[in-house]
Amino acid sequence: METVHVKQKKIEKDTIMKITGAEAIIHCLLAEDVELVYGYPGGAIMPVYDEFYKFQDKLTHILTRHEQGATHAAQGYARVSGRVGVAIATSGPGATNLVTGLADAQIDSTPMVCLTGQVPRHLLGSDAFQETDIIGISTPVTKWNYQITKASEIPEVMAKAFYIAKSGRPGPVLIDITKNAQFEEFEFSYKKCKGVRSYKPVPKPNMETLEKAAELINNAKKPFIVWGQGVILGEAEEELISVVEKAGIPAAWTIMGESAIPTSHPLNVGMVGMHGNYGPNMLTNECDVLIAIGMRFDDRVTGKLDEYAQQAKVIHFEIDPAEINKNVTADVPVLGNSKETLGLLLPLLKNNTHEGWRDEFRKKYEIEFETVIKNDIHPTKDKLTMGEVIEEINLASKNKAVIVTDVGQHQMIACRYAKFEQSKSNITSGGLGTMGFALPAAIGAKQGAMDREVVAIIGDGGYQMTIQELGVIFQHQIPVKIVVLNNDHLGMVRQWQELFFDKRYASTVMVNPDFVKIAEGYHIESKRVSERKDLKSTIQEMIASDKPYFLEVKVEKEDNVFPMIPSGAAVSDIRLK
C-alpha cells in the first residue's frame, strides 16, 4: 500500500491547538489507546475517513463488508481483550446497519463505542439525503448516546463515551456527529473522563450484606454457585476460584460466563440453562443456597420462574442495582464489582468440601454422559456429529483456542463441549442470539488477541448472514479458523419444529451453495470433510496452519441438541431426549 507523508502536528496532553473536528476525533481515539477501528465510509463521515487516511500509521481502520460486521468485529475485539471496541459508519443506512450490533452489545454488556456521521446541522430535521434519526433509533439499544453538532463538543463527549462504555456494567455508546462539526476548526485539548456527576458505575459493597451472605453460605448444606459474565467483565476469575475452592461449592456457568473457570476444574459442574447440563439444572431446584454471581437470571437460564429454586435462599452478587429482584427475588443482594465483593467474601467463608452434595452432580453427570454426551462426542453412527467436531478441535488446540460461536444448534453444542483453560475465551451472542455474529466477531477476537488461536464455529444458516466478511479475512490475512457445521438446515428452528410443530419444516431446509468454492473465491485455504476418517487429520491441519482456513464439516442433518428445558418448563423438567 502506498504510504503518505503528512506533516503531523505534535500533540501533547493538554496542549492547545486548532484542528478540525474530524482530526480531533482521531486524537480522541488515540488518547483512548484505540489502535483499531472497524467501519464503512459514506458521505456524512468522509471528513473522518480523510483523517484515517492521514493517520493510518497510528490507527488501523478495517473496512468490513457491512456495517453490522463492523459492530460484531468490535464486539469480538472487546470481549477477548477487555478493551473498548470501536465501530464507525456513515449516516442513514450506515447508521441503521449498526443497530443489531448495538442491541447485541447492550444485552451482553459489551463495551463498544460507535461513531456515526450525520447530515450537517442546518439540514437536521429536513429529511435530507441519508438523514436518519439514529439517536432516536438507537436509544433503547445503547447505554448512552449523544449527537454532536459543534466541533467544540468533541473532546468532552468522546471522553465521556469511552468512560461510560467501559465503566460499571459495560455497554455500547453511540455518538452521532454532524458533518459541519467534522469540518469546523477549534482549539483542541483532551482530558480523559474520570466521572459523570449523575452516573455511579460501581455501587459500594456493604459489609453487612456480605456478612449475611457468608453466614448463609457457611451454614448451607447444599450451596450452589451460578456465575455469569459479570465475573469476566469484573476480572474476578481468581476471586471466584478461591471462593469456590475454599467453601467447596459446586459452580455452574451461564453461557456468557463460560471460560471464567477452567473446564477441567473439579468444582466446575457445567452449564445452566435451556441446553445446559443435566446436573446443574436439576440441582438448581435442590440446592439450599443459590449464589448467583454476575448473572441476570435470563429466562433461558431460569425456565419457568415460579418453579425456579423456590426452595433456596438466593444470594445475588451484582454490579447493576436494576438487576436485583428483577426476575428472581434475592434474599441477600450483594451490590458491587464482583472482584471486590468476592474478595471481601473470601475471608468470611469457612473451609468446606460438601462431598456428598458434589456426588449428586457427579451422578447426574453420569446419567447425562450415558444418555447424551457419549453419543454426541463419541458417536457410533455413520454420520458426523457436531459434538465430535468440537472434541477434535479441543484435542488439536489443546483447549487453548478462543471459540467464537454463531447462533443455533452448533452454538449450544460448542458451548457444551468446548474446553477452556483461559478466561475470555468463549465469545458468543448470548442475550440477543444474533445469527451472523460469529464470522465478524472472530475477526475482532483474533485482532484483539493475535497470540491466540481463534476458531469460529458457525452454522450453514448464520454463516450466510455475514459471509461477506470473508473479504476482510482475505484482504488482511487474518488467521482465523472458520468451521461451518453444515446440517443443511436452520437446525435449531428445525429441532423445535420437530418437537413442537409436528415436523412441519417451514423454511428451515437450506439449499446451500458450495461453501468451499466461496472461500476459495476469497483465496482462503478450504476443505470439506464428510467422513469421520478425515476429521481428525483435517482439524489438525487447520489448527497447524498459520493462515486463514475454512473448513466445512457435513454433519448429520437432523440431530437434536439435548438436554433441553422446553420453553416455559421448569429447570427440573429438563429432558434428556
Ligand X SMILES: Cc1ncc(C[n+]2csc(CCOP(=O)(O)OP(=O)(O)O)c2C)c(N)n1
Among positions 417-446, residues that touch ligand X (CB under 6 A) are: 433-436
Provide the mask over 454-473, with x wherever binding to ligand X is found by CB under 6 A and - wherever it is not: -----xxxx-----------
Among positions 126-155, residues that touch other proteins (CB under 8 A) are: 135-136, 139-140, 143-147
Does position 248 interact with ligand X (CB under 6 A)? The reply is no
Ordered DSSP codes for 285-354 = TT-SEEEEES----HHHHBSGGGSSTTSEEEEEES-GGGTTTSS--SEEEES-HHHHHHHHGGGPPP---
Q: Which does 466 bind (CB under 5 to 8 A by kind): other proteins, ligand X, Mg ion, none?
A: none
Of the candidates 491, 529, 552, 555, which one interacts with Mg ion according to CB under 5 A?
Answer: 491
Of the candidates 53, 129, 199, 501, which one interacts with other proteins according to CB under 8 A?
Answer: 199
Q: Select which of 8, 18, 129, 187 is catalytic.
A: 129
> Judged by CB, which is closer to ligand X: 493, or 569?
493
Of the candidates 122, 183, 187, 195, which one interacts with other proteins according to CB under 8 A?
Answer: 195
Only one of the segments 27-35, 71-79, 189-197, 402-410 lies at the binding site for ligand X (rule: CB under 6 A); that segment is 402-410
Of the candidates 341, 397, 487, 526, which one interacts with ligand X according to CB under 6 A?
Answer: 487
Does position 30 interact with ligand X (CB under 6 A)? The reply is no
562 tagged catalytic: no
One-letter-per-residue 3-state SS of 105-141: HHHCCCCEEEEEEECCHHHCCCCCCCCCCHHHHHHHH
**What does DSSP assign to residue 89?**
E
Does position 556 interact with ligand X (CB under 6 A)? The reply is no
Among positions 287-326, residues that touch other proteins (CB under 8 A) are: 320-326
Q: Please check whether residue 448 is in contact with residue 81, taking contact to mean a CB–CB distance below 8 angstroms.
A: yes
Q: How far apart are CA 71 and CA 78, in angstroms?
A: 10
Secondary structure (3-state) at 564: strand
The minimum distance between CB 379 and Mg ion, in angstroms, equals: 18
Q: Please check whether residue 21 is in contact with residue 182, taking contact to mean a CB–CB distance below 8 angstroms.
A: yes
**What does DSSP assign to residue 10?**
P
The minimum distance between CB 312 and other proteins, in angstroms, equals: 20
The site for ligand X, by CB under 6 A, has a size of 20
Q: Rounded to 5 degrees, what angle do the CA atoms 571, 574, 577 make?
A: 170
Q: Which residues of 545-558 are buried (b: 16+ CB within 10 A; e: fewer)?
A: eeebbbbbbbbeee
C-alpha distances (whole Å) from 343 to each of 155, 213, 351, 405 are 36, 13, 15, 32
Of the candidates 198, 351, 380, 507, which one interacts with other proteins according to CB under 8 A?
Answer: 198
492 tagged catalytic: yes
Of the candidates 214, 390, 492, 574, which one interacts with ligand X according to CB under 6 A?
Answer: 492
The letter for the amino acid at 95 is: A
Only one of the segments 173-181, 308-316, 334-342, 407-415 lies at the binding site for ligand X (rule: CB under 6 A); that segment is 407-415
> Judged by CB, which is closer to other proteins: 31, or 324?
324
Of the candidates 108, 131, 392, 460, which one interacts with Mg ion according to CB under 5 A?
Answer: 460
In sequence order, the 6+-apart residues with CB closer than 8 A to the CB of 133 are none
Does position 162 interact with other proteins (CB under 8 A)? The reply is no
550 tagged catalytic: no
Question: Nearest 5°: phi and psi at 112?
Answer: -150, 140
129 tagged catalytic: yes
Q: How many CB atoms lie within 10 A of CB 43?
A: 14
Only one of the segments 70-78, 149-157, 357-365, 457-465 lies at the binding site for Mg ion (rule: CB under 5 A); that segment is 457-465
Closest Cα partner for 74 from 87, 65, 56?
Answer: 87
> Judged by CB, which is closer to ligand X: 199, or 501?
501
531 tagged catalytic: no
Q: How far apart are CA 323 and CA 527, in angstroms?
A: 46
Assigned C-alpha cell, 187: 482549539
Strands 144-148 and 112-118: unpaired
CB closest to ligand X, residue no: 459
In sequence order, the 6+-apart residues with CB closer than 8 A to the CB of 388 are 376, 377, 378, 379, 532, 535
Of the candidates 101, 491, 548, 563, which one interacts with ligand X according to CB under 6 A?
Answer: 491
Q: How far apart are CA 532 and CA 43, in angstroms?
A: 51
The minimum distance between CB 80 and Mg ion, in angstroms, equals: 25
Chain residues that interact with Mg ion, rule: CB under 5 A? 459-461, 487, 489, 491
List residues binding ligand X (CB under 6 A).
406-410, 433-436, 459-462, 485, 487, 489-493
Residues lying near other proteins in the complex (CB under 8 A): 135-136, 139-140, 143-147, 164, 195-200, 320-326
Active-site amino acid positions: 67, 129-130, 179, 492
